[in-house]
Structure 1
Amino acid sequence: MKRIYWLKNDDAAYSPRAIQKSRNLSLSSDSPYGVVAEFGLYGSEEWWENIQRGKIPTRITEGRVIGLFEEGQDRSGVPNSVEIETLDGCRVKRSIRFSNEPESERLKVGYKIKLVEIIQKLKTPSLSIDGDGTVSKLIEAFVDNSCK
């Protein structure tokens, strides 16, 4: 499979400004936003080591792309969400990012896909979209078009 996204190559989500903003939210006692930094601060060497060691919970979603679309208020003409039929036949929607815009051309309906996300606890669990007190962050995305 070819990697089409790697967090470290994301100029928006992994910029020095984004990293510092995330860290400030986690460390601030005045803000309800941010994640619990139990495995290190976002982007730190400790954080990456804990991802590699499997200490930060990971969710891997694999399957076939059955839909590509834009969600939310950021409309750029590039899909930011994908619907996947997983290997066990379930249908799930996930956010997706690309390391650079030409990578978005590598993702098409019918292609195999693998998303690797980490799951972190929110400082304020009630802010969780899924109601489980956590938030996911895409770390890597891979695509394979050999079996369209």
Structure 2
Amino acid sequence: MNFSHRFFRSQGEPGRGVQEPLLDFLDSEFWRVYTLTAELESDPQQVKLAQALTLNPDKPHMGLKGTYGLFGSPEWWNSINLRRMPLRFISGTIAEVYEAGQDSKTGLNNEIVLDLSAGGRESFGIYTNNKKQVKLFTPGATVLMVDALDEYKRPARGFPDSGITLEVAISKPDSHR
């Protein structure tokens, strides 16, 4: 499934400094259930805290490096939209759904295991802008995701970048294959 390439811009085209759609899919087959923009609009403090950590010289090992701009800033979004920042496009079929966390007792699933279209199997958190949409994450559903691979100030071994989820879409129940 090719869902990621329709929004590539030419190098000379100016950016708008806002999140632009990255996933390209048929509206009859998928619902867009998450965008980072909607999350940040509901909790603008996230941007302030992330930016403060990047700018704090007393925390040289914590937070993002700022290579592509401060998190959530127009420069940061342009780095994503113009593909200066590396992105990871993920697609797969849900094999398992479960509630993760040692002390988690909410009764709500928050993790999925995907059989990746590119091969292999990987766990991901469930991202939605509306908690009611968690029920859409069922075995057999197809998930499309895109992550921004922003750089940490001090990368952990095996984790050089942050993997910030930007957008998630899930197949509609009648389109499960």
Q: Same fold (TM over 0.5)?
A: yes
Quick check: 1:138 aligned with 2:151?
Answer: no
For structure 1, list consecutive stretches of 5 or more residues without a partner in the other structure: none
User: Kindly, what percent of the aligned residue pairs are identical?
Assistant: 25
Give the number of equivalent residue pairs. 144
Quick check: 1:110 aligned with 2:110?
Answer: no
In the alignment, the residues of structure 2 paired with residue 51 and residue 88 of structure 1 have an alpha-carbon distance, to the nearest angstrom, of 22
Match of 2:64 in 1: 35
In the alignment, the residues of structure 1 paired with residue 77 and residue 103 of structure 2 have an alpha-carbon distance, to the nearest angstrom, of 28
Offset at residue 95 of structure 1 (A): 2.1
What RMSD in Å do the two structures reach over aligned CA positions?
Answer: 1.9
Match of 2:73 in 1: 44
- Compute the TM-score of the two structures, normalised by the length of structure 1: 0.87
Offset at residue 73 of structure 1 (A): 5.5
The SS at the match of 1:125 is strand
In the alignment, the residues of structure 1 paired with residue 46 and residue 103 of structure 2 have an alpha-carbon distance, to the nearest angstrom, of 17
In the alignment, the residues of structure 2 paired with residue 19 and residue 74 of structure 1 have an alpha-carbon distance, to the nearest angstrom, of 27
Offset at residue 80 of structure 1 (A): 2.3
In the alignment, the residues of structure 2 paired with residue 139 and residue 88 of structure 1 have an alpha-carbon distance, to the nearest angstrom, of 20
Give the letter aligned to residue 161 of structure 2.
Answer: T
Quick check: 1:71 aligned with 2:100?
Answer: yes
Match of 1:90 in 2: 120
- Greater C-alpha radius of gyration: 2
Offset at residue 134 of structure 1 (A): 1.6
Give the letter aligned to residue 8 of structure 1.
Answer: T
Give the letter aligned to residue 142 of structure 1.
Answer: A
Give the letter aligned to residue 56 of structure 2.
Answer: S
Q: Once structures 1 and 2 are overlaid, which stretch shifts more, 89-98 or 69-78?
A: 69-78
Contact 1:10-1:99 within 8 A present in 2 as well? yes
Match of 1:121 in 2: 151
In the alignment, the residues of structure 1 paired with residue 102 and residue 77 of structure 2 have an alpha-carbon distance, to the nearest angstrom, of 30
CA distance 1:11–1:78, shift in 2 (3 Å)? farther
